[in-house]
């Protein structure tokens, strides 16, 4: 069919630059090892922090939900698609996050879009960390609010922006809790102090912090002892929780407002029973199996120390997200290919996802990895790193 020649031209150029990518197919469940191209390789690229994607309790809950309630819900939440289980999941999440209420969206991505576009107008200003996730950036694009960006985790830059924006009706500071490409943690105590000093609201997107930091994985806000001082907490059900979806935890007022105004909530069908019931089960697993989080952190320490001893640059990571920064885009790609030949799946990440010249392999260990697997992974990094002259 004719019509897309202009797009094909761009794709051809991407082929030439070596940045065109085929999607990598997994032929197994998501685990500490996965089947790629007929080989069983160590998985260091998933967000399956606690190994819940295939936890027997989640699978059982999902199957039982399908048997009793079917495959889909047949409506949006606000018309005929709210089942008891949806409200139950939200009550559970609110309790887990120590907030008055919570609201579930189809994904973490749409949660940010829904919240940011609903609560700000042209009388307001949104103040965003420069390395915030794409879904925050897109959410901000959907508001008529004035946009300000402060330098990454730079509190002087944030304070300066707060000083310059005193005339707006509302000011909303928004930040990732854990930054997804570097694994560093936002300085929430300082952000909250500034917000209180300048009477601003704070929104934390804890997609990579929930299930990882805080008591039983309650997230970065809880980790810093800031329960009750952060206005809006966004989380995902797709990473440590192991299933799919996003949520916002906040006051009753904000949640009631979003139920009436957040467009992805209003105009997109509710989660199917299997997803909802598996998420409920996952929260219970977090509460009942805290040893998974301990294992995650032990594995994190082991891999990070191993990489550092080998001489790799792992940047400012403080969490299970450990980047191995090589700089050059082409080199990062070769490194990733070599790792796969050595039995490790760890994706290279380059511009525009990270800054130019900051290309890297991004690793995420999970609670499912055995010491033996991590030892093998380190050996693969050593071999590939030496072959390419990185170490
Ligand atoms: C992954 C991620 C999201 C999106 O979550 P999904 O549930 O996968 O849509 C949002 N924010 C941040 C910071 C993320 O890392």
What per-residue confidence (pLDDT) applies to 28?
98
Any idea which residue has 């928004």 for tokens?
174
Helix intervals (H) in 184-272: 188-197, 220-223, 252-261, 263-266
Selected catalytic residue, list 135, 180, 210, 332: 180
- Residue 364 parent element (H or E): strand 359-364
What per-residue confidence (pLDDT) applies to 60?
98
Selected catalytic residue, list 55, 208, 223, 369: 208
Q: Residue 170: which residues within 8 A CB-CB, separation 6 or more?
A: 120, 123, 124, 125, 200, 201
Sign of the Cα torsion 113, 116, 118, 124 reads: negative
Q: Residue 108: which residues within 8 A CB-CB, separation 6 or more?
A: 135, 205, 207, 234, 235, 236, 237, 238, 239, 245, 246
Q: Is 80 exceeded by the pLDDT of residue 18?
A: no
Q: What is the pLDDT of residues 61-89, one digit of tens each?
A: 999 999 999 999 999 999 999 999 999 99
Choose one of 45, 135, 140 to mutate for the ligand 1 pocket test, by most ligand atoms within 8 angstroms of C-beta: 135
State the average pLDDT over residues 255-273: 98
The torsion region of residue 389 among left (phi > 0), alpha (psi -120 to 50) and beta comes to: left
Choose one of 53, 239, 282 to mutate for the ligand 1 pocket test, by most ligand atoms within 8 angstroms of C-beta: 239
Sign of the Cα torsion 381, 385, 386, 388 reads: positive
Q: How is the chain split into domains, by residue range?
A: 19-53+290-388, 73-271
CA-nearest residue, atom 6 of ligand 1: 108
What per-residue confidence (pLDDT) applies to 351?
85
Ligand 1 atom at shortest distance from the alpha carbon of 206 = 13
Residue 299 and residue 289 in contact, taking contact as beta carbons nearer than 8 Å:
no
* High-pLDDT (> 70) share of the chain, %: 100
CA-nearest residue, atom 12 of ligand 1: 207
Report how far residue 355's alpha carbon sits from residue 4's, in angstroms, rounded to the nearest whole number: 30
Q: What is the pLDDT of residues 342-375, one digit of tens each?
A: 999 999 998 888 988 999 999 999 999 999 999 9
164 C-beta neighbours (distance < 10 Å), count = 11
CA of 209 to the centre of ligand 1 (A): 11
Task: Classify each residue of 174-192 as buried b or exposed e, where b means 16 or more C-beta atoms within 10 Å of its C-beta.
Answer: bbbbbbbbbbbbbbbeebb
* Fold of domain 73-271: 3.40.640
State the average pLDDT over residues 271-279: 98
Tokens of 43: 């998985």
What per-residue confidence (pLDDT) applies to 132?
97
Ligand 1 atom at shortest distance from the alpha carbon of 109 = 9
Any idea which residue has 């960390």 for tokens?
129
What per-residue confidence (pLDDT) applies to 313?
97
Known active-site residue 260: no
Residues having CB within 6 Å of any atom of ligand 1: 107-109, 112, 133, 135, 176, 180, 205, 207-208, 236, 238, 246
CA of 378 to the centre of ligand 1 (A): 28
69 C-beta neighbours (distance < 10 Å), count = 17
Report how far residue 209's alpha carbon sits from residue 222's, in angstroms, rounded to the nearest whole number: 10
Judged by DSSP in three states, 39 sits in strand
CA of 20 to the centre of ligand 1 (A): 23
Q: How far is CA 322 from CA 44, 184, 203, 317, in A?
A: 10, 9, 24, 6
Of 172, 263, 173, 248, the C-alpha closest to 207 is 248
Known active-site residue 86: no
What per-residue confidence (pLDDT) applies to 19?
77
Choose one of 47, 109, 241 to mutate for the ligand 1 pocket test, by most ligand atoms within 8 angstroms of C-beta: 109
CA of 113 to the centre of ligand 1 (A): 11
6 C-beta neighbours (distance < 10 Å), count = 7
CA of 109 to the centre of ligand 1 (A): 5
Report how far residue 271's alpha carbon sits from residue 381's, in angstroms, rounded to the nearest whole number: 40
Report how far residue 188's alpha carbon sits from residue 203's, in angstroms, rounded to the nearest whole number: 10
Helix intervals (H) in the chain: 5-17, 56-69, 84-97, 108-119, 134-141, 155-164, 188-197, 220-223, 252-261, 263-266, 273-288, 291-310, 329-341, 371-387
Q: What is the pLDDT of residues 175-214, one digit of tens each?
A: 999 999 999 999 999 999 999 999 999 999 999 999 999 9
State the average pLDDT over residues 134-147: 97
Average confidence score pLDDT of the chain: 97
Number of H helices, E strands in the chain: 14, 13
Residue 291 and residue 285 in contact, taking contact as beta carbons nearer than 8 Å:
no
**Residues 236/346/186/204 CA torsion (nearest 10 deg):** -10
Q: Is 90 exceeded by the pLDDT of residue 47?
A: yes
Tokens of 168: 């707006």
CA of 236 to the centre of ligand 1 (A): 6
Selected catalytic residue, list 239, 271, 304, 358: 239
Of 363, 340, 293, 268, the C-alpha closest to 52 is 293
Ligand 1 atom at shortest distance from the alpha carbon of 133 = 13
* Fold of domain 19-53+290-388: 3.90.1150
* Comparison of pLDDT for 353 and 143, the residue scoring more: 143
CA-nearest residue, atom 2 of ligand 1: 207
Any idea which residue has 């999440």 for tokens?
93
CA of 164 to the centre of ligand 1 (A): 30
Known active-site residue 133: no
Tokens of 92: 């559970």
């Amino acid at each position: 069919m004719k019509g897309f020649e202009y797009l094909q031209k761009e794709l051809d150029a991407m082929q030439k630059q070596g940045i065109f990518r085929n999607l990598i197919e997994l032929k197994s469940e998501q685990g500490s090892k996965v089947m790629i191209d007929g080989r069983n390789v160590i998985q260091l690229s998933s967000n399956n922090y606690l190994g819940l994607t295939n936890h027997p309790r989640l699978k059982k809950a999902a199957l039982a939900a399908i048997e009793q309630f079917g495959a889909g819900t047949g409506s949006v939440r606000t018309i005929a698609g709210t089942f008891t289980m949806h409200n139950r999941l939200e009550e559970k999440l609110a309790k887990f996050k120590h907030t008055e209420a919570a609201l579930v969206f189809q994904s973490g991505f749409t949660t940010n879009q829904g919240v940011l576009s609903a609560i700000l107008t042209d009388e307001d200003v949104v103040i965003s960390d420069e390395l915030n996730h794409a879904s925050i950036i897109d959410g901000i694009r959907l508001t008529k609010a004035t946009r300000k960006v402060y330098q990454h985790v730079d509190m002087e830059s944030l304070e300066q922006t707060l000083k310059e924006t005193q005339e707006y009706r509302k000011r909303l500071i928004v930040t990732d809790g854990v930054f997804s490409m570097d694994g560093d943690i936002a300085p929430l105590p300082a952000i909250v102090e500034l917000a209180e000093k300048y009477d601003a609201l704070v929104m934390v997107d804890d997609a990579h912090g929930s299930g990882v930091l805080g008591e039983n994985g309650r997230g970065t806000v809880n980790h810093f002892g800031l329960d009750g001082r952060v206005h809006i907490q966004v989380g995902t059900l797709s990473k440590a929780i192991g299933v799919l979806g996003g949520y916002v935890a906040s006051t009753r007022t904000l949640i009631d407002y979003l139920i009436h105004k957040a467009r992805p909530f209003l105009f997109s069908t509710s989660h199917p029973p299997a997803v909802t019931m598996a998420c409920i089960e996952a929260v219970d697993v977090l509460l009942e199996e805290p040893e998974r989080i301990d294992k995650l952190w032990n594995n994190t320490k082991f891999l990070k120390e191993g990489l550092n001893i080998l001489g790799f640059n792992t940047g400012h990571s403080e969490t299970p997200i450990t980047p191995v920064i090589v700089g050059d885009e082409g080199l990062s790609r070769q490194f990733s290919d070599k790792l796969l030949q050595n039995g490790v799946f760890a994706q290279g990440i380059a511009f525009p996802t990270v800054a130019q010249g900051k290309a890297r392999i991004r690793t995420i260990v999970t609670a499912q990895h055995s010491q033996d697997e991590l030892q093998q992974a380190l050996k693969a990094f050593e071999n590939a790193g030496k072959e390419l002259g990185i170490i």
